[in-house]
Structure 1
Amino acid sequence: MLPTLREALMQQLNSESLTALLKTRPSNKLEIWEDLKIISFTRSIVAVYSTCMLVVLLRVQLNIIGGYIYLDNAAVGKNGTTVLAPPDVQQQYLSSIQHLLGDGLTELITVIKQAVQKILGSVSLKHSLSLLDLEQKLKEIRDLVEQHKSSSWINNDGSKSLLCHYMMPDEETPLAVQACGLSPRDVTTIKLLNETRDMLESPDFSTVLNTCLNRGFSRLLDNMAEFFRPTEQDLQRGSSMNSLSSVSLPLAKIIPIINGQIHSVCSETPSHFVQDLLMMEQVKDFAANVYEAFSTPQQLEK
């Protein structure tokens, strides 16, 4: 799914066309550079958010399905038992991930682009930034995105998780909207979707996703750090080069660096970015808890 995500991002945030335009030496060169600045940062930031959401959402979905399959297998041979999650239901349920790759992604791009514009719009292309400065700018952008009304990181009661809105369609628009009547398959799928939504709105999910985002943005900065290494001249001057603030680059030079990060974040299999997220203890523990909850008959009867 990462190639699909990458293609969608590169299509909606097409920095390559702007780069090609700059090579023609147009009269509005500065204006194009300003657009490129916003699109490049937006693209990589959306890549981190959407990849983290994709990983954790799929993990939840597969463990919910896994729990149902376990119960179905345990019930084989028992008279009068109905299959809880037949293959067609599993397929229909898992296809709901398309919301995150479609409408959810488009809305996420809009919100992040607005935040990038607010934080970086007034920053001159000649202005130099260190890695520490970049980290601070990313934090400010994240704060805006995660406080956005669409993102609803925390509900009034302090329980609701971030970005559920982008991962699943609203309850008012379930898959049954197109149909006059509901088939048994549709009823089961809607039940699965509602259970997933409840899981995404839990404080535990919020904590896990936030931990993944912290790791994701940390890795993004690590990837960019190699471009902020001191030059021979810096080393000869004997200045302290261990500090994150010791090397600065003009924003115009940072733009192509961050623009290319999408290929690292949404890389082909095996994706080190995704593997890093999946190996996190919080993600593994949460996935195990989801599986346990949905492989217990008493839990499903609630």
Structure 2
Amino acid sequence: MLESLKNFVRRHKKKFVVLGVVTGGAVLLWKYGEWKLQQWQDKETDECLVMARRQHHFDSNQRTCNMTVLSMLPKTKEALSLLLDSDGIIQMLKAKPENKVDLWNDLKIISFSRTIASVYSTAMLVVFLRVQLNIIGGYMYLDTLLGKNGMSEERILATPDVQKRYLANVQYLLTDGMSCMVSAVREAVENVLGSMPLQKTLGLRDIERLFSSVRCQVEAAKLGEQGSGMECTIHPLVRYMVPVEEDEDQGEDTACQISSDQLTVNGKLMLETRDMLESSDFHSVLNTCLDIGFSRVLDNMADFFRPSSTITAETASPTGLIDAHLPLAKIIPVINGQINALCGDTPNPYIQELLLMKCVKDFAANVYEAFSQLPPDPTHDP
């Protein structure tokens, strides 16, 4: 029996060798497949964790953006009220002075100017802070990856001092930038409304056309590059958000408090901010916010143009809407109070609408995505 078994093995020796090799190879291949599968699963898990971490950081950053915008509304309203003070004129009108008509004309210009300036200020504030906080937010996210993915301490960019100095640039929008913007708006309003008599009757469509005329003048100017001979595509309102480059080095007291490396980083951040402000996406989002703002003003004023119940159906337009008109003198107090609706404290439906607009959210996500990407690994360069 044993001899027969030995003979059988001897006769089929090659077959047993081949079977052993095949079996061993199959086992090794199975083990290798298991290892690769586990490696792929670990990679997928890590990527999911990274995506979840980035999404959480992004969502937190957007909440910070919203809170920052809302917290700056009182400052915006205060600055506009100081630059375009209507309260003083109203007090003088209550005293029934001899130059009553002149005061009403002044109030006409100031009222329209501060409402239009309010729309510009709030729209610029919302979009500009989206740019700033998502650029710095992207760098802050990268700083959380120190020691991971091969990143070294040299990658730190968004230090507290850098954050403070960079984010302080929004103050330009609320000070010098706003002052220049208000001057431009007031000049445009005087050109459009200066000669319009107080007795002239206007409807909502007329006011909409007035807004369009003022916007055309304020937004018509293009920023050209000196010496280039070519027209630049920078949005004309950008000049009110960031100062010209020659003015950036002002403020030695602040500059001396941080290192030269941090100053270099701040300069890099401002260059990147300007690049974003020059993008077509920024232009589109800002213009959409402005359109929403002026539409909101007209919506707010619509109640004051609703006809009385004595108006019959014969006077109605075919669409069922009545194109009511009011004297300009009666419209002025209404337009003067729009600053409270546009720049008022929370809850502010208008600001909430801007913050929740899809184009604003998508733009914020694109900015954050651009500045939260890991730098390319030099070891993988061809």
What TM-score do the two structures reach when normalised by structure 1? 0.92
1:21 alignment counterpart: 92
Q: CA RMSD in A?
A: 2.3
The CA distance in 1 between the partners of 2:274 and 2:349, in whole Å, is 28
CA contact (8 A) 1:131 1:245 kept: no
Structure 1 counterpart of 2:233, from 159, 166, 176: 159
Pair 1:173-2:244 in alignment? no
The CA distance in 2 between the partners of 1:227 and 1:156, in whole Å, is 47
CA distances 1:11-55 after superposition (whole Å, capped 9, x unpaired): 111101100000101010000000000000000000000110000
Pair 1:84-2:157 in alignment? yes
1:233 alignment counterpart: 310
Pair 1:131-2:204 in alignment? yes
The CA distance in 2 between the partners of 1:243 and 1:112, in whole Å, is 35
How many correspondences in the alignment?
297
2:374 alignment counterpart: 297
CA contact (8 A) 2:76 2:343 kept: yes
Pair 1:187-2:264 in alignment? yes
For 1:148, give the aligned amino acid: A
CA contact (8 A) 2:307 2:322 kept: no
CA contact (8 A) 2:122 2:342 kept: yes
Change over 3 Å in CA distance of 1:97–1:269 after alignment to 2:
same
Gaps of 5+ in 2: 1-71
The 5-angstrom pairing of residues 1-302 of structure 1 reads 1-76=72-147, 78-148=151-221, 156=230, 159-175=233-249, 178=252, 183-234=260-311, 236=312, 238-240=314-316, 246-298=323-375
The CA distance in 2 between the partners of 1:265 and 1:249, in whole Å, is 23
Structure with the higher helix share, 1 or 2: 2
Shift of 1:175: 3.8
Change over 3 Å in CA distance of 1:115–1:122 after alignment to 2:
same
The CA distance in 1 between the partners of 2:358 and 2:114, in whole Å, is 28
For 1:5, give the aligned amino acid: T
Change over 3 Å in CA distance of 1:151–1:32 after alignment to 2:
farther
CA contact (8 A) 1:131 1:244 kept: no
For 2:370, give the aligned amino acid: A
3-state SS, counterpart of residue 126 of structure 1: coil
After alignment, is 49-58 or 141-150 more displaced?
141-150
CA distances 1:148-203 after superposition (whole Å, capped 9, x unpaired): 35799xx9556322311000011111145637876222211111111101110112
CA contact (8 A) 1:64 1:291 kept: yes
3-state SS, counterpart of residue 291 of structure 1: helix
After alignment, is 91-100 or 244-253 more displaced?
244-253
3-state SS, counterpart of residue 30 of structure 1: helix
3-state SS, counterpart of residue 231 of structure 1: coil
The CA distance in 1 between the partners of 2:153 and 2:338, in whole Å, is 54
3-state SS, counterpart of residue 217 of structure 1: helix
The CA distance in 1 between the partners of 2:279 and 2:87, in whole Å, is 39
Shift of 1:101: 0.2
The CA distance in 1 between the partners of 2:223 and 2:327, in whole Å, is 33
Change over 3 Å in CA distance of 1:125–1:176 after alignment to 2:
closer
For 1:90, give the aligned amino acid: Q
Change over 3 Å in CA distance of 1:254–1:58 after alignment to 2:
same
The CA distance in 1 between the partners of 2:306 and 2:375, in whole Å, is 57
CA contact (8 A) 1:72 1:83 kept: yes
Shift of 1:271: 2.1
CA contact (8 A) 2:147 2:153 kept: no
What TM-score do the two structures reach when normalised by structure 2? 0.73
The CA distance in 1 between the partners of 2:301 and 2:336, in whole Å, is 11
CA contact (8 A) 2:77 2:339 kept: yes
3-state SS, counterpart of residue 270 of structure 1: coil
Greater RCO between the two (CA within 8 Å, min separation 6)? 1
Shift of 1:84: 1.2
CA contact (8 A) 1:132 1:244 kept: no
CA distances 1:249-285 after superposition (whole Å, capped 9, x unpaired): 0000000000000000001023211111111111111
